[in-house]
């Protein structure tokens, strides 16, 4: 009936078989939301490191009080002369402090920590210099010098980010699986509880899809309700995590600042949960009924 | 319309409830099916509305063998059959009106016009004041009338009524049997199972009598009435 809303032929809203379904879906959506937040922030962190460090070398000259400024100048000059190097920029101690601050926090840097001298080098990513040769040459000019292209470190970070994303995906898949099994179970209970009504519907000409529709509509509304509840609970959790992370104020840690389109993934979670719930109910009904004589 | 050939029915490993029943109800005919309690009337009807498969023999409806029908074909065939169940089988959570409209909802014919049909039919069976009552609040006779209205709302080609007047007073019983006659006039084949033989005698329709799972009298036409279009045979005869 189009305009007039009439009662369901199978009174699923009156029995207890689906009572806990919204709560269970809520828990699942909650876990999925946390997994999604973890994966998103981890991949954003990796991206930040990646773009921040591409085409950049850091040359570290030990803070040796005995070494004079000439040695440092020689290193700078050698760098400038190297093919593939675009820019050479020695950092004063203020810049170094600023650089380290997001990594270590400002508390660490107020003391008289002996800081090495750093040279920021920009290289041509299309024709990069030979890092190993460069390292050897600088070692000769100023023993203890280091050329760091951050690559090894960056690779490990990217591995970590990818692993976290994968884990989040596994969590989501498991959550969907658990939800489906649960819905199948609840649906079977409903089918058994309403066996006689369903038999009657069949006897007056209902097809299996008609019966399935009764169940899937009910499951959709339960799933949506549960999904929204789960999301509503997940948001304060994420907000809290974000606050705690911001308080630490270190660039090493991921942030939980999401862009608009990233927030829309979270809004899609309850919708997806409702669809999964609905589909699981439909498949269960159709498969169970098809087995009837 | 309905054709049974050597149909045997047993429930599980129990005794034969029906033993080699052969009969044929032609399109547009009106039949009474009588017999003592336990004779197998309801069992026979159950096979006609495809709720029960025969243990042996063949059942054909609308000129079509019903063995091996898919679930979909079964559903579509059932939409052409109206059934008044002996135990009514109303849905207790739906009002009288909604129960009656259910076959229309299922076959996708529900709408404003059918709402009016439902109300008219309810008034006709004397339930104008009970349209929105739930079945548990209705008397047995009232429930039975709702069940009858649900069976006829879709203008079925075949109407199977199992003891449709059991809970009704004689006046209402006759009124409803006339309703069935009206349907019969517009082409519906009617089969009524009952053990109320005095009621049967008031109508000029052929009577099939079951006794101990066998057809004892096949399509006897009460004296003084024209023979109806039907044939009923027993034990593969005819
Ligand atoms: N589901 C069933 N399982 C086992 N036996 C059954 C079943 N249904 C009916 N019977 C048996 O089949 C026989 C015929 O029953 P049926 O209901 O067809 O009789 P009936 O003629 O309709 O009787 P009544 O006039 O009392 O309604 C009875 O002996 C009954 O016990
Ligand atoms: Mg009976």
Of B71, B98, B106, the CB nearest to A204: B106
Flag whether A150 is in a domain. Answer: no
Question: Do A110 and A80 contact (CB within 8 A), yes or no?
Answer: no
Query: Are A86 and A169 within one domain?
Result: no
**Domain edge (last residue) among A144, A164, A188:** A144
Closest CA relative to residue B30, chosen from B233, B236, B234, B226: B226
Flag whether A210 is in a domain. Answer: yes
Query: Are A11 and A83 within one domain?
Result: no
Q: Output B45 or A111, whichever has higher pLDDT.
A: B45
Flag whether A57 is in a domain. Answer: no
Note the pLDDT of residue A112.
Answer: 61
Query: Are A46 and A67 within one domain?
Result: no
Flag whether A260 is in a domain. Answer: yes
Query: Are A174 and A275 within one domain?
Result: yes
Query: Are A133 and A259 within one domain?
Result: no
Mean pLDDT value of segment A40-56:
78
Query: Are A171 and A40 within one domain?
Result: yes
Low-confidence winner among A23-32, A236-245, B125-134, B186-195 (lowest mean pLDDT): A236-245
Interval B3-29: pLDDT, tens? 999 999 999 999 999 998 999 999 999
Q: What is the rounded average pLDDT for all residues in chain A?
A: 83
Note the pLDDT of residue B41.
Answer: 94
| Per-residue pLDDT at A98 exceeds 80 | no
Per the CB < 8 Å rule, is A208 touching B102?
no
Total domains, chain A? 2
Chain B closest-CA separation from residue A1 CA (Å): 6
Q: What is the rounded average pLDDT for all residues in chain B?
A: 88
Q: How confident is the model at residue B228 (pLDDT cuts 50, 70, 90)?
A: very low
| Per-residue pLDDT at A17 exceeds 80 | no
Mutate to test the interface with A, among B47, B100, B102, B148 (most CBs of A within 10 A): B102
**Strand, helix or coil for residue A126:** coil
Note the pLDDT of residue A109.
Answer: 56
Interval A238-255: pLDDT, tens? 889 888 888 876 666 677
Flag whether A257 is in a domain. Answer: yes
Domain ranges of chain B: 2-80+156-233, 91-154
Nearest CA to ligand 1 atom 26: B37
Low-confidence winner among A60-64, A285-289, B146-150 (lowest mean pLDDT): A60-64
Terminal-residue alpha carbon distance, chain A: 30
Note the pLDDT of residue B40.
Answer: 92
Atom of ligand 1 nearest to the CA of B35: 21
**φ and ψ at B211, to 5 degrees?**
-145, 120
Does the Cβ of B38 fall within 6 Å of ligand 1? yes
Flag whether A205 is in a domain. Answer: yes
Query: Are A137 and A260 within one domain?
Result: no
> What is the layout of strands, in order, in the sheet containing A117-123?
A85-90, A117-123, A56-61, A146-148
Query: Are A231 and A271 within one domain?
Result: yes
Q: What are the tokens at A277?
A: 């719930």
Query: Are A137 and A209 within one domain?
Result: no
Note the pLDDT of residue A111.
Answer: 55
Query: Are A194 and A77 within one domain?
Result: no
Mean pLDDT value of segment A14-20:
80
Range of the domain at A43: 2-50+155-291
Task: Quote the CA–CA distance of B162 and A10 in Å, as a whole number.
Answer: 24
Flag whether A149 is in a domain. Answer: no
Q: How confident is the model at residue A11 (pLDDT cuts 50, 70, 90)?
A: confident
Is A14 part of the contact surface with chain B (CB cutoff 8 Å)?
yes
Mean pLDDT value of segment A210-230:
94
Query: Are A287 and A172 within one domain?
Result: yes
Per the CB < 8 Å rule, is B106 touching A210?
yes
DSSP H/E element including A291 = none
**Domain edge (last residue) among A81, A111, A144:** A144
- Running DSSP on this structure, what letter comes out for residue B135? G
**Domain edge (last residue) among A118, A144, A170:** A144
Question: Do B207 and B34 contact (CB within 8 A), yes or no?
Answer: yes
Interval A123-151: pLDDT, tens? 887 777 888 888 888 888 888 888 887 77
Q: How confident is the model at residue A287 (pLDDT cuts 50, 70, 90)?
A: very high
Flag whether A87 is in a domain. Answer: yes
For B2-80+156-233, CATH gives 3.40.50.300
Task: Quote the CA–CA distance of A61 and B72 in Å, as a whole number.
Answer: 82
Note the pLDDT of residue B32.
Answer: 94
Low-confidence winner among B111-115, B179-183, B189-193 (lowest mean pLDDT): B111-115
């Amino acid at each position: 009936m189009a305009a007039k809303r009439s009662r369901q032929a199978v009174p699923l809203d009156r029995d207890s078989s689906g009572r806990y379904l919204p709560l269970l879906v809520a828990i699942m959506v909650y876990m999925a939301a946390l997994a999604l937040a973890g994966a998103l922030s981890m991949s954003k962190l990796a991206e930040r490191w990646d773009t921040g460090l591409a085409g950049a070398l850091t040359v570290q000259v030990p803070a040796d009080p005995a070494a004079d400024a000439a040695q440092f100048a020689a290193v700078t000059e050698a760098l400038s002369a190297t093919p593939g190097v675009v820019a050479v920029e020695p950092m004063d101690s203020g810049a170094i402090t600023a650089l380290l601050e997001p990594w270590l926090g400002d508390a660490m840097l107020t003391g008289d920590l002996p800081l090495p001298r750093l040279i920021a080098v920009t290289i041509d990513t299309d024709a990069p210099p030979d890092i190993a040769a460069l390292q050897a040459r600088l070692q000769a000019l100023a023993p203890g010098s280091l050329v760091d292209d951050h690559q090894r470190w960056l690779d490990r970070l990217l591995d970590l980010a990818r692993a976290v994303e994968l884990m989040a995906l596994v969590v989501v898949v498991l959550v969907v699986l658990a939800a489906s099994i649960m819905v199948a179970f609840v649906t079977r209970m409903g089918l058994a509880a309403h066996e006689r009504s369903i038999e009657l519907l069949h006897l007056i000409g209902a097809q299996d899809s008609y019966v399935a529709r009764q169940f899937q509509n009910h499951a959709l509304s339960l799933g949506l309700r549960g999904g929204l509840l789960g999301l509503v609970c997940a948001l304060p959790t994420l907000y809290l995590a974000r606050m705690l992370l911001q308080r630490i104020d270190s660039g090493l840690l991921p942030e939980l600042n999401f862009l608009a389109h990233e927030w829309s993934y979270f809004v899609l979670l309850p919708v997806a949960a409702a669809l999964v719930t609905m589909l699981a109910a439909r498949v269960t009904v159709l498969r169970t009924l098809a087995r009837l004589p | 319309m309905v054709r049974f050939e050597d149909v045997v029915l047993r429930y599980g490993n129990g005794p034969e409830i029906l033993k080699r029943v052969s009969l044929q109800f032609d399109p547009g005919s009106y039949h009474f099916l009588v017999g003592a309690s336990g004779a197998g009337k309801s069992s026979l009807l159950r096979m006609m509305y495809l709720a029960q498969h025969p243990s042996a023999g063949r059942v054909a409806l609308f000129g079509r063998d019903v063995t091996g029908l898919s679930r979909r074909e079964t559903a579509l065939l059932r939409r052409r059959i109206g059934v008044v169940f002996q135990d009514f089988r109303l849905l207790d959570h739906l009002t009288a009106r909604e129960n009656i409209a259910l076959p229309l909802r299922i076959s996708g014919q529900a709408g404003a016009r059918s709402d009016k049909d439902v109300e008219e039919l309810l008034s006709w069976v004397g339930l104008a004041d009970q349209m929105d009552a739930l079945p548990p609040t209705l008397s047995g006779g009232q429930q039975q009338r709702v069940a009858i209205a649900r069976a006829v709302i879709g203008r079925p080609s075949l109407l199977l009524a199992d003891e449709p007047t059991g809970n009704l007073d004689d006046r209402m019983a006759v009124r409803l049997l006339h309703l069935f006659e009206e349907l019969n006039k517009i082409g519906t084949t009617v089969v009524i199972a009952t053990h109320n033989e005095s009621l049967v005698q008031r109508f000029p329709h052929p009577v099939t009598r079951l006794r101990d799972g066998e057809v004892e009298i096949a399509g006897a036409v009460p004296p003084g009435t024209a023979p109806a279009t039907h044939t009923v045979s027993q034990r593969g005869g005819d």
